[in-house]
Structure 1
Amino acid sequence: MNFDYFSAFLVGLLGAGHCLGMCGGITGMLTNAIGKNATYKKFQLVFGYNVGRLASYTLIGSIVGFSSSLAVKSTGFNPIYLHVISSIFIILLGFYIAQWWLIIGKIEIIGKRLWQLISPLTKHFIPVNRPFQAVGLGALWGWLPCGLVYSMLTWALASGSAVNGAFILFCFGLGTLPALLSMSYGIHYVQSLMRNTVLRKCTGLLMIVYGLYTLLIASSNVIN
């Protein structure tokens, strides 16, 4: 397996607390509207929502990866510099998750205008009663401005192809599933663990160390 794919999965997994804040509300809305005994229906809607969300992440990653590969080929730009940028974003993401420096959160402003155009479409899928509505809502929700997603997009930018960019975002999306499924099924222990301050800071520190490591490798390639 490409190490970037595994790393992207870990970023999604470790950024779980942020996911609960960003997408927990919509996940709660999906499940709270369903009767307690409607177990299969709950599964259908939760599954559909996450399929749509992961599909959007994958599409965005492929678009960014494809666009950057075209740009590199047409301009002769050294892709190593893209790896430097993605490493810096991972470091900033570590600070963000640890709540030491929230500059990544400010980057979410970039996507707010696009979200203003997309968000009115969600009303066509609410209330969510059928699986296709859940898939549609999840697909739209995947475009919600999110610092974690934007950080992963810098990886897609440096990935060199549409396929790699798509897989990076897909693996990131898989990593976010435990957090959102815990919200959907009321697994409060998992939710409290993901929101634990000590765990969050340790997670942030690990991401900073990993970002520094990848930055060191990318910088050495630039020098060479």
Structure 2
Amino acid sequence: MIADLLAALLIGFLGSSHCIVMCGGIVAALQLALPARRFSWKLAMQLLLSLGRLTTYALLGGLVGYFGMQAMSLAGISLIWLRLIAGFLLLLMALYIARLWFGLALLERGGQVLWALIQPVSKRIMPLDSLPKAYLYGLCWGWLPCGLVYSTLGWSLASGSVSQGALIMLFFGLGTLPALLTFGSLASNLSKFKNRPLVRYSAAAILATYGIYTIYLALKRLVF
């Protein structure tokens, strides 16, 4: 389980370059929308926005983990098969991190339908002039269509556990925080570091190795 959480953290951190493309505009717009108050208040607002987003991630992870658990009990699906699926999902995410395959972006199209229902709710919360509103907006923000989020949710489904599914999504969300909470030169330097080929390929190799190892353990139990 610890290895799963570390892998989820790594995926969130290195995949957050995509988060900047998807969410960077939202972060900038929200910064401009915040009233002219002291820095500590704005920082609290940003933290609550992120907390709301992570709450949504964790709830979705727990929900799909529950579905995976029910599938095992009702349909007689073994956890081994779910772990096999998890291994293949890790391989796909490794290819995405290495920028060798961008098929995960296709998943975002399916999420547009759901986002069309959530977006009007988020607009009613504006303007962001209080801490509770920041948290509520963050809850909506967590539904923004993202192929990497959906793939990690698939991994949570394959966990076959409510708690593990929630933790996987929570750690994925924590991995995205540095990219979304940093600004200016710090954000630029962080982005440059993550985009170095050596960093991307090394991380992708680690994820791919863990994915292959997960597949190997699942196949070993199926065969023997």
Work out whether the TM-score is over 0.5.
yes
Q: Could you report, residue by residue, the CA deviation over 1:19-40 in whole angstroms, capped at 9, with x for unpaired residues?
A: 2122222122222344787211
Alignment-derived partner of residue 47 in structure 1: 47
Structure 2, gaps ≥5 residues long: none
**1:68 is the counterpart of 2:68:** yes
Which whole-Å CA distance do the structure 1 matches of 2:218 and 2:154 have between them? 14
Alignment-derived partner of residue 179 in structure 1: 179
CA contact 2:12–2:173 (8 Å) conserved in 1: yes
Alignment-derived partner of residue 20 in structure 1: 20
Q: CA deviation at 1:54?
A: 0.5
Which whole-Å CA distance do the structure 2 matches of 1:186 and 1:109 have between them? 32
Q: Secondary structure at the match of 1:158?
A: helix
Structure 1, gaps ≥5 residues long: none
CA contact 2:10–2:203 (8 Å) conserved in 1: no
Which whole-Å CA distance do the structure 1 matches of 2:185 and 2:163 have between them? 33
Alignment-derived partner of residue 202 in structure 1: 202
- The answer to which of 201-210 and 115-124 deviates more is 201-210
Q: Could you report, residue by residue, the CA deviation over 1:159-184 in whole angstroms, capped at 9, with x for unpaired residues?
A: 22211211111111111111111148
Q: Secondary structure at the match of 1:76?
A: coil
Q: CA deviation at 1:88?
A: 1.0
Counterpart code for 2:116: Q
Alignment-derived partner of residue 219 in structure 2: 219
**1:81 is the counterpart of 2:95:** no
Aligned length: 224
Counterpart code for 1:53: R
Which whole-Å CA distance do the structure 2 matches of 1:132 and 1:126 have between them? 11
Alignment-derived partner of residue 122 in structure 2: 122
Closer, same or farther: CA 149–4 of 1 in aligned 2, 3 Å:
same
Alignment-derived partner of residue 169 in structure 2: 169
Q: Secondary structure at the match of 2:101?
A: coil
**1:32 is the counterpart of 2:27:** no
TM-score by length of 2: 0.90
CA contact 2:62–2:164 (8 Å) conserved in 1: yes
How large is the Cα RMSD of the aligned pairs? 2.2
Identical aligned pairs, as a percentage?
37
Q: Secondary structure at the match of 2:100?
A: coil
